[in-house]
A = this chain, B = another copy of it.
Amino acid sequence: MDLLKRLKETPLPFAALLGIEIISAASDRIVAEMTVRHELCTRPDVLHGGALMAFADTLGALGTLANLTEGSGTATIESKTNFISSAPVGARIVGEATPLHRGSRTMVWQTRITNAEGKLVAMVTQTQLIFPKPAKSPQ
């Protein structure tokens, strides 16, 4: 997939800082992984909720990008997270984003974050607004 290749070559700065690794990117399913490094932690040494939300936000936005037509754009307008269990330093977490809705004005993606044993860490639901390609002016 073109999008995946492009992201691997020039990753988003914050996604690179977090160490997000995109595993697969289809138009109806994005999978990524991330290792809980010490600098992504709160105290005690478990993954900071903000790093979890950033991980999910990246996947939901990427899922939307995978469905856009050339020239249109997107922005996350809202995001909701339920934190279920913690991910200690050293853990490897997996995020899987799937669409609830793919419309022409908005898309809604849900990202399920689990640990290596498959236990639910967090569930994130986010809405993406779609910016249509600007209409060509007659000249």
Number of copies of this kind of chain in the complex: 4
Instruction: Please determine whether A14 and B120 come into contact, CB atoms closer than 8 angstroms.
Output: no
Q: Which residues of B contact A101 (CB under 8 A)?
A: 82, 84, 120
Chain A, range 52-95, C-beta contacts under 8 Å to B? 53-58, 61, 75-84, 86
Q: Which residues of B contact A13 (CB under 8 A)?
A: 38-43, 45, 48
Question: Contact size class for A?
Answer: 35 or more
Measured CB to CB, the nearest residue on chain B to A50 is B54
Q: Which residues of B contact A42 (CB under 8 A)?
A: 12-15, 61
**Known: A48-B12, A50-B50, A53-B54. Contact between A100 and B79, CB under 8 A?**
no
Instruction: Please determine whether B106 and A129 come into contact, CB atoms closer than 8 angstroms.
Output: yes
Instruction: Please determine whether B125 and A100 come into contact, CB atoms closer than 8 angstroms.
Output: no
Bound-state Cα–Cα, A76 to B84, Å: 10
At the interface, yes or no: A123 with Cβ under 8 Å from chain B? Answer: yes
Chain A, range 90-139, C-beta contacts under 8 Å to B? 100-101, 105-106, 108, 110, 120, 123, 125, 127, 129
